[in-house]
Amino acid sequence: MLERMDDFFTARVDGYDEHMRQYVEEDSKFYAYTASLLPEEEGAEVLDLGCGTGLELEAYFDINPAAKVTGIDLTEAMLKALKDKFPDKAITTVCGSYFDVPFGKEAFNAAVSVESLHHFSEEEKLPLYKKLWEALKPGGYFVLTDFYADTDDQEAYFRRELLRLRKEQNLPNDVFYHYDTPMTAEHEKRILLSAGFSKVEELGSWDTTHTLRAEK
Ligand SMILES: C[S@@+](CC[C@H](N)C(=O)[O-])C[C@H]1O[C@@H](n2cnc3c(N)ncnc32)[C@H](O)[C@@H]1O
């Protein structure tokens, strides 16, 4: 049975950081690398989509302890772990879906997302990326580190499987369920460009994890 997205992460919050550090290939490298691309100026405003327990933020606060971070996540338990970890940092948390939460206009110097958006389709991401584009200040940018498919065939297979499982289990359309549907990094780049980003580059990759940087 597919699990609801928030139930899936609530059930795994204890030990989540250790699991990610131990089992995700070379994770310490991509968390540190992602953080190294975020703004270094004091008081920089950064939006984190699907921040979870904040593994990327741990690395970022080492570089910029005075950053002001807004973290959005569906799972209250993940946000509680994040807040417990960083009681002295300027973090605003929002428990909700990044598809629904308003981001504001020209509010952030940069945005980041790590290992969260591979659950969603182009139809879901395009309006999200347009909203994100509007939320970035002039000169702002988005650093996206995520799990990607190697080929179009793989991408199509995961999407078909999700639709098949949802149908088989008679799941409602308006609830998120946990199932990985990575797209190719090339497809992700095209969506970011369609949303209005002026330049999208791939800056790093670790097996199936790639880091993209999209400029407003
Ligand atoms: C694999 S965790 C990644 C957490 C953190 N960024 C990291 O790399 O350790 C994925 C996170 O995305 C969150 N998430 C999934 N879908 C979401 C949505 N639509 N809106 C907000 N958060 C979401 C989950 O609750 C979970 O905390």
Minimal-distance CA residue to ligand 1 atom 10: 116
pLDDT at 24: 64
Q: Between 16-23 and 27-36, two packed helices, what is the crossing angle to 10 degrees?
A: 100
pLDDT at 211: 97
**Number of structural domains, the chain?**
1
pLDDT at 27: 55
pLDDT at 20: 80
pLDDT at 6: 92
Ligand 1 centroid to 60 CA: how many Å? 17
Ligand 1 centroid to 181 CA: how many Å? 14
Residue that is written with structure tokens 């703004």 in the block: 39
CATH number of the structural domain spanning residue 207: 3.40.50.150
Residues (pLDDT < 70) of the chain are 23-28
Per the structure block, which two tokens stand in for 55?
């593994």
Ligand 1 centroid to 50 CA: how many Å? 4
End-to-end C-alpha distance for the chain, whole angstroms: 40
Ligand 1 centroid to 52 CA: how many Å? 5
Supply φ then ψ for residue 215, to 5 degrees: -95, 140
**Is 1 in a helix, a strand, or coil?**
coil
Give residues with Cβ within 8 angstroms of 202, minimum separation 6: 185, 189, 210, 211, 212
Minimal-distance CA residue to ligand 1 atom 14: 50
Q: DSSP string spanning 82-102? A: HHHH-TTSEEEEEES-TTTS-
Residue range of the domain that includes 204: 5-215
Minimal-distance CA residue to ligand 1 atom 26: 52
Half-sphere exposure of 57 (CA within 13 A, CB side): 32
Cβ atoms within 10 Å of 106's Cβ, excluding its own: 12
Q: Which of 74, 118, 128, 179 to mutate to test the pocket of ligand 1 (most atoms within 8 A of CB)?
A: 74
pLDDT at 25: 58
